[in-house]
Structure 1
Amino acid sequence: MENENTGHDDGKTSAAADAITVAGLLLAAGRARRMGEDGPHKLLAEFDGVPLVRRSAQVLLGADLASVVAVTGHRRDEIEDTLSGLDLVITFNPGFASGMASSLVCGFSRLEAASADGVLVMLADMPAVTTGQINMMIRRFQSEGGQSVVRCVFDGKRGNPVILPRSCYAAVLQLTGDIGARPVIERSGLAVIDVDIGPAAHIDVDTPEAVIAAGGILTR
């Protein structure tokens, strides 16, 4: 009898977890100052023949996300053209020059993000992150009842992406300046669940040298 009850409860728990939704937010608005004045755009660098921003969007679109929102800014026309044909929502951040906070506010203000139980924030310049790793984060968020922050780490050091639960949304909307979600996480009082995804958590390509080292080809 005990085994039968356990199996029944597990089924209900699994169904409840699956009902917890996560939206994806792809940040692709930055000015990429470290690429050099009038230098090539890191998000247009090609990895396996695909521009990085499109590759990152495809990683999210392949995951178990309720929706994907991409925030654009610097060199908007080229970035949005590169994302054309994908099943995502593109929103332009007119204040992108003020820093990352404005892009977070722009993305979290979209109904597609605001209506989900959690929002997975991913920087568009992380070529090593995979759909499988994103799904691993989603499953962990769901298993925690959608009430905890889920953060990628490698070797004990925090990285990206990160999932923020609904209780953090109001604080995100108050962010200003060139800061990310770290202050929100630190002040939230919520449990922070670290998920080790290996080196991918730390690989972002902020310089031409980093693009090349990660296997990319600079284009335009």
Structure 2
Amino acid sequence: MGVLILAGGSSRRMGKDKLSLPLFGKTILEQTVAIYRRVFAEVEVITKDRIGESFALEGMGGTLRGAARLLPDHWQGVVIALGDMPFVGINSLQALSRAIAMKPEEVWCLSYRGRRGHPVYLPRKYFSYLKRLTGDTGLRDLLPELSPKYIDTEDYGVLFDIDKSDDYLPFQRLVVVKGAGDIATGIIWRLHQAGFKVVATELSKPTAIRRMVAFAQAIYTGEHTVEGITARRSNLFEVPNLLVNDFIPVIPDEEGIVVKELKPWAVVDARLAKKNLGTKKEEAEIVIGVGPGFTAPEEVHAVIETKRGHYLGRAIYQGSALPNTGIPGEIGGHTVKRVVYSPGRGKVCWYFDFGQEVKAGEVIGTVGEKQIVAAVSGVIRGLIHPEVWVEEGMKIGDIDPRGIKEYAFTISEKALAIAGGVLEVLLKLGNTSLK
């Protein structure tokens, strides 16, 4: 048994050879082939050259009829896939593979919430059916008489194909956001709401404090939802499928390979390191630095101001953000006291959880044998993950003196203001880079 990936179409609706268009560091066809090769041992790509011009010009029926002539003799079944569907999930293909192994004489189809999708599996006894197809008659017209069995999934990738320019454009303008803390999450959330496809990178053990509103939490839990948008811990191979299913992939990437591999349209460095950790303009068509440490246009195309006050969220196209003062912004009349700093080295044991009220002077946790004492009364808004090794003086928590529980679970006004600046830059500079 093997896979035939059909790649002999004329791309009439796209108006150009869509299978050769770039997608996440590969071509569309290369992405499709790579997914199938992770599940199936034998994968054959059926191009126009292999089947002949006359077959390809007929349409899907001619392509399938030409492909049937190339089926290897030792194949007892064939998975028929389309080259312009690079978003099928590996889990879906594995489910198909298991079904074939259990009942190889059945016809199998993947579906999405009851709607038939691709790929389709045919056992050898039906190979001859392919040879009678003509014109643009494809598997859709053939399947009813074969009584296929369906494997229903929640994977929209089994339906979605890149047929027109509008299908391709959202994936062409991929944005990689370095960092997935609370500020980065505000950026990712707003870009996602505006229709951008976004991938986030993080440390293997993120140090985010406001974890309930940080997609970085997905690194620890596998999945995390912030205000209706869900992030999943991912690897590079899962990115296409997660994006088409409306998830935010969050990839541990301490080696910095994600940008190199995915070749995104835009990069946003939102790690808030107060210095440039190596981000360069050459990484993408649009590169944005968030906060101090970046200079535009020398290092990045634009910088976003992160300091609370009159200039918060402004896009800077010449110069840098205001320098870091080391003093937290004022919330509820408090600056330094609302931030919780580690009293020692080690791992934290918290006595409270997000959204809970604490009183000034109350012990809220320990680092080793040293107590962590709340300096102000309020609601717990930030707690560093207990798996993180902390150093003395390190920021490990946050208390919101305004005392409103909801604020611990919703994106801050600061994050959304900064996100607005990022969105401005992408729209302003993107008007030329997408032409």
Q: Give the alignment's TM-score, normalised by structure 1.
A: 0.72
2:132 paired with 1:174: yes
What residue in structure 1 maps to residue 142 of structure 2?
184
Larger Rg: 2
Aligned partner (choices 161, 165, 178) of residue 204 of structure 1: 161
Distance 2:115 2:25 in 1: 31
Structure (1/2) with the larger helix percentage: 1
What residue in structure 2 maps to residue 216 of structure 1?
172
Structure (1/2) with the larger strand percentage: 2
Q: For structure 2, list consecutive stretches of 5 or more residues without a partner in the other structure.
A: 174-264, 266-433
Aligned partner (choices 56, 61, 80) of residue 32 of structure 2: 56
Kindly indicate whether structure 1 or structure 2 has the higher relative contact order, using CA contacts under 8 Å at least 6 residues apart: 1
Give CA-to-partner distance per residue, 1:119-176, whole Å, 9 cap, x none: 11111111211333222211111112x1111101111111111111112111111111
Q: Residues 111 and 152 from structure 1, CA distance in 2 versus in 1: closer, same or farther, beyond 3 angstroms?
A: closer
What residue in structure 1 maps to residue 274 of structure 2?
none
What secondary structure does 2:13 align onto? helix
CA contact under 8 A between 1:122 and 1:161: conserved in structure 2? yes
Aligned partner (choices 93, 101, 110) of residue 70 of structure 2: 110
What residue in structure 2 maps to residue 68 of structure 1?
43
1:1-12 mapped onto 2 (5 Å cutoff)? none
What residue in structure 1 maps to residue 150 of structure 2?
193
Q: Residues 70 and 93 from structure 1, CA distance in 2 versus in 1: closer, same or farther, beyond 3 angstroms?
A: farther
Give CA-to-partner distance per residue, 1:93-121, whole Å, 9 cap, x none: 32201111122122222242x53121111
Distance 1:58 1:93 in 2: 25
Q: Give the alignment's TM-score, normalised by structure 2.
A: 0.38
Distance 1:197 1:168 in 2: 28
Q: Residues 193 and 147 from structure 1, CA distance in 2 versus in 1: closer, same or farther, beyond 3 angstroms?
A: farther
What secondary structure does 2:172 align onto? coil
Distance 1:122 1:204 in 2: 11
What secondary structure does 1:158 align onto? strand
Distance 1:42 1:191 in 2: 30
Aligned partner (choices 135, 145, 149) of residue 94 of structure 2: 135
What letter corresponds to residue 42 of structure 1 in structure 2? K
Structure 1 vs Structure 2 CA RMSD = 2.1
What secondary structure does 1:153 align onto? strand
Q: Residues 63 and 93 from structure 1, CA distance in 2 versus in 1: closer, same or farther, beyond 3 angstroms?
A: farther
What secondary structure does 1:175 align onto? coil
CA contact under 8 A between 1:45 and 1:216: conserved in structure 2? no
What residue in structure 2 maps to residue 46 of structure 1?
22
> In the TM superposition, what is the alpha-carbon distance from 1:197 to its structure 2 partner?
5.1
What secondary structure does 2:3 align onto? strand
> In the TM superposition, what is the alpha-carbon distance from 1:216 to its structure 2 partner?
3.1
Q: Residues 26 and 125 from structure 1, CA distance in 2 versus in 1: closer, same or farther, beyond 3 angstroms?
A: same
